[in-house]
Structure 1
Amino acid sequence: MASMGLFEAFISLFFFLIFYHFIIKKHSGYVKKTLFQSYPWNWPVLGMLPGVLLRLSRIDDIIWVLEKNNLTFSFKGPWFARMDMLFTVDPANIQHMLSSNFSNYNKGPEFKELIDVFGGSILIADGELWKNLRMSSQAILSRQGFQNMSMSVTTSKLKDVLLPLFSCLSEDGTIVDLQDMFQRFMFDTTLVTTIGSDPQSLSTEMPELELAKALENAGEAIVFRHLNAGEAIVFRHFIPRFMWKFQTWMGLGQAKKLIDAGATFDRVCAKYILSKREEIQEIDHHHDHSNGESEDVLTYFMKLDTSKYELLKPSDDKFLRDTIVASILAMRDTTSTALTWFFWLISENPYVEAKIRQEINKNLPKAESSLERSWSAMDRKDYLNKLVYLHGALFETMRLYPPIPFECTSPIQSDVLPSGHRIEANFAIIIPIYLMGRMKSIWGEDALQFKPERWISETGKLRHEPSSKFFVFNSGPRICPGKNLAILVMKNVVVEILQNYDIKLVKGHKVKPKPRLVLQMKHGLRVTLTKRCSA
């Protein structure tokens, strides 16, 4: 598909400015009451863009449009702007695209172009390369040794760093940004399991690390790009594609941030890779070989058996760099974001917090306090797996505030969806996961309520929902291979914090999501901590 020329882009923009000034701005009351009150109008040249900007001013409006159109809405953008796309939250469509007809759908060329700074990682790979990356990732994540190492690292960081830091902050009455705390916590634990080294970003000094900062800048810059596509509908903000293409060409603004972030990824990861190679050579020199069960991610991929994964290149620095960045994105951002929204939701719903504490105390060995426990990783996992209500509360959090708020896909060949929509090859399809969790036709009349009980069966077991409905961990062959480990890590964090601290939201603090690839809070989560008398 050819890129839009600057002349065509300016013509489209010119017509929109004329329309906005002479029709919408001067007669906005009439326009809103007549033309756009019930449906985004498809205008010549401008498409549905003016109607969307006027009518879809709230999330409720967008939900209404999707509900009114049987969960699938075809958006027509301005001529020449390459903004036509299909929005769907229909579980039948998702099942068809991500499972039944999986081989005909991939991420699409435009999505890859938008997040190219992350390289050819599993996050954007397709075809045989994706299969190789998927199988190799599943192999390490399924290792008992790796899972135990992850749990051990998380527990150590909790008891040796996070809880003592909370203790100091609670004594001083300091206001804490839990979002920042969880990001730092997960950055440290993720780096340990990924490269075997702790960057110690979570400390009393709270240092700013260049890799973490580069990840933040990259996410912000990518959103600047991506807001001309699916996220634009959700967050009511449009940026013409030619604008960020021009900035990239000139190395200006947000595009420069993305270029600089990519350079930081290259430089920092190169140091990690060199250090790891030296470490492996030293181990080989002393013939100090383990069974590999507890290897970190980078060591595992450096030693990868290429006879099993022919398309992967363990000796290639670019491949290893992309693996490191993808690992951090997959483990740090999603988990820290889910934890942040969870603690806000239980602070707003004290009855849920009380039930979680009750479940923890019921299953906790009576003789030991939280800080005195020295369980093995297996014992801890067995205990955490008993916390069904907590599991439901985490799922309910991610239903309403999914860490990844939208997903993109595109057909390789033309197709007809179960909803009846015909889709041409390479057409952009957006699955707005954030909206999907709020659909009454999918989740019932109480869809907007935070209700962990919806995940608990009559027998007290965790209720299963198909991944085409609860799409937080993706669906079909692309379903997240680290799903179960991520839930265990989150449970581990929640238990240790709730056993030791009461958390109260700062009065007047505004909580709202900000448009990012990961659904973080715009103003963080500002709270005060009070140490509990007994654990």
Structure 2
Amino acid sequence: MSALGIPRHIGTIDPKNVEHILKTNFGNYIKGPEFHSGMMDLFGGGIFNANGEEWKYQRKTASHIFNIKNFRDQFTDVFVQELLTMQESIWDKAAENHEVVDFHDVMFRFTLDSFIMLGFGVELKALQTKGKVPFAAAFDEAQKNTFLRFVNPIWPATERIMGLVMPWKASMSEHLSVVDGFAREVTKKRRGQLEAGEVHKDLLSRFMDARNHNGELLNDDELRDIVLNFVIAGRDTTAQALSWTFYMLLCHPRVEKKLLDEIYQHINDDDLNDSPVLFEKIKNMTYAHAVFYEVLRHYPSVPLNQKYALNDDIWPDGTHIKKGDYVLWCPYAQGRSEKVWGPDAKQFRPERWITREGELRRESQGQWPAFHAGPRVCLGQHLATLEALIAIIFLTKNYKFSLVPDQDITYQVSLTLPMRYGMKVMVEKRENSQK
């Protein structure tokens, strides 16, 4: 597709083409000028928007925190602690008072609290805050506006016009000011703590000790970009995946029952107080993994993506790509395609992820690019999976949720896949059938 003033765009859902773009011919496809200009205000030169050496050093520095010891101990501890806070602050009270709760909002608060603690060593306490968290609300709006820039080539003009026509509505610059202030405040505080001799091992501290691809210590602008890039990676995608997971469980009682049986088989209450034991047990819960993978097939956290061709190319299916073309792939459409997944593609069936031998099936990254693929495969995929599974197990084991009737559960157009109107639920404590 193309139009006056818009470069040629070529879309595909063919797994071989997707794998070719992201893995086989990785060097030919980069974040192009269209991507950069739309993303720059919110994400700057952070890892989502970076190419080449700038991207490599950010990924290498971040990779040091994503190791097995941290997963087994520190990360699991934080997730369990935030879930216990959620239990006390929200679900137990809602069950006792028969209150309606927006599940989607709670998941965003949970992942925000968890990642801000892991990434930046800060207690945000979003789960204990009534009303909107200013940073989170501004970040959501800035993200939505960033996506709209991709489909509107004259966004600089239309954003100015909207500011004149609707002066009462907060502008992109106002949302960015809130987001920017949070990132810089976190950075300034941590810099002072490190200068005072404190020792911190979170992601931000590691980047403060790191040098960029020019061999220089990172300045405040670079650190600001890094903070915001990892917030979208650590907060939004997992919160959305958890929301869609419970929506699918509530719509498919058979799957919920089978998942609950596996939870009772593997997990007892004491395991939640022993992170290394919990970590090891979760690794062996095949059906829980299958449920999560099947959710991401239907509701991938990044539903649409694009890159820019540096040189001419020919895809595996014979499509000719010209230098300067934009290429797109759509995991959301791909997951629903019978050509890709067979005649039952639209069915929610976690069993497709389990082999006859009872082991977890691994599909190619081209067929299931839920965590991207190739050299830029999601650095935090194991962290996100661990966080999601701990939350799924904890919440399913302790509570029975039910959907409030007459809701429109659909997605919001954005860079990721949030629920447009949230998801209202009622909750009751679950009788523990283990006992």
Give the TM-score normalised by structure 1. 0.77
Within-5 A mapping of 1:96-495: 96-116=20-40, 117-142=42-67, 144-145=69-70, 148-203=73-128, 205-226=129-150, 228=151, 240-242=152-154, 244-248=155-159, 252=163, 257-283=171-197, 295-304=201-210, 306=211, 310-311=213-214, 313-365=216-268, 370=269, 372-373=270-271, 375-495=273-393
Kindly tell me: are residues 156 and 312 of structure 1, through their superposed partners in 2, closer, same or farther at Cα, counting changes over 3 Å?
A: farther
Matching residue of 2:10? 86
Residues 147 and 427 of structure 1, relative CA distance in 2, 3 Å threshold: farther
Could you tell me whether the CA contact under 8 Å between 1:76 and 1:83 is conserved in 2?
A: yes
Secondary structure (helix, strand or coil) at the match of 1:409 reads strand
User: In the alignment, residue 214 of structure 1 is paired with which amino acid?
Assistant: A
Instruction: Give the SS at the match of 2:87.
Output: helix
Aligned length: 429
Alpha-carbon shift at residue 262 of structure 1 (Å): 2.3
- Deviation sequence 1:238-274 (CA, Å, 0-9, x none): xx422x1213456826997322222223222221111
Which amino acid is the alignment partner of residue 390 of structure 1?
A
Match of 1:19 in 2: none
- Kindly state the Cα deviation for residue 211 of structure 1 after the two structures are TM-superposed: 1.5
RMSD: 2.0
The corresponding residue for 1:10 is none
Structure 2 counterpart of 1:453, one-letter code = E
Instruction: Write the deviation string for residues 36-64 of structure 1: whole angstroms up to 9, x where unpaired.
Output: xxxxxxxxxxxxxxxxxxxxxxxxxxxxx
C-alpha change, 1:147 and 1:132, in structure 2 (3 Å) is: farther
Partner of 1:30: none
Q: How far apart are the structure 2 equivalents of 1:487 and 1:133?
A: 22
Residue identity in the other structure for 1:519: L
Q: Structure 1: which 5+ runs fail to align? A: 1-74, 229-239
User: Does the aligned pair in 2 maintain the 1:146–1:296 contact within 8 Å?
Assistant: no
C-alpha separation in 1, matches of 2:267 and 2:240:
27
Q: Distance in 2 between matches of 1:142 and 1:515?
A: 34
Determine if contact 1:337/1:403 at 8 Å carries over to the other structure: yes
Query: Counterpart of 1:36?
Result: none
Distance 1:256 1:450, change over 3 A: same
User: 1:75-124 deviations in whole A, cap 9, x for unaligned?
Assistant: 243xx241631111111111211111111110111011111121111111
Give the number of the structure whose alpha-carbon radius of gyration is greater.
1
Secondary structure of the 2:247 match is helix
1:273 maps to a residue whose letter is: T
**Counterpart in 2 of 1:528?**
426
CA distance in 2: counterparts of 1:525 and 1:532, whole angstroms: 20
Secondary structure at the residue paired with 2:235?
A: helix
Find the aligned partners of 2:23 and 2:252 in 1 and give their Cα distance. 36
Change (3 A) 1:451 1:104: same
SS in 1 for 2:422: coil
The one-letter code sitting in structure 2 at the alignment partner of 1:128 is: E
Residue in structure 1 matched with residue 407 of structure 2 by the alignment: 509
SS in 2 for 1:472: coil
Shift of 1:146: 6.0
Q: Which amino acid aligns with 1:258?
A: M
Q: Is the Cα–Cα contact under 8 Å of residues 162 and 185 in structure 1 kept in the other structure? A: no
Paired residues of 1:502 and 1:530 also in contact (CA < 8 A): yes
Give percent identity, aligned residues only.
27
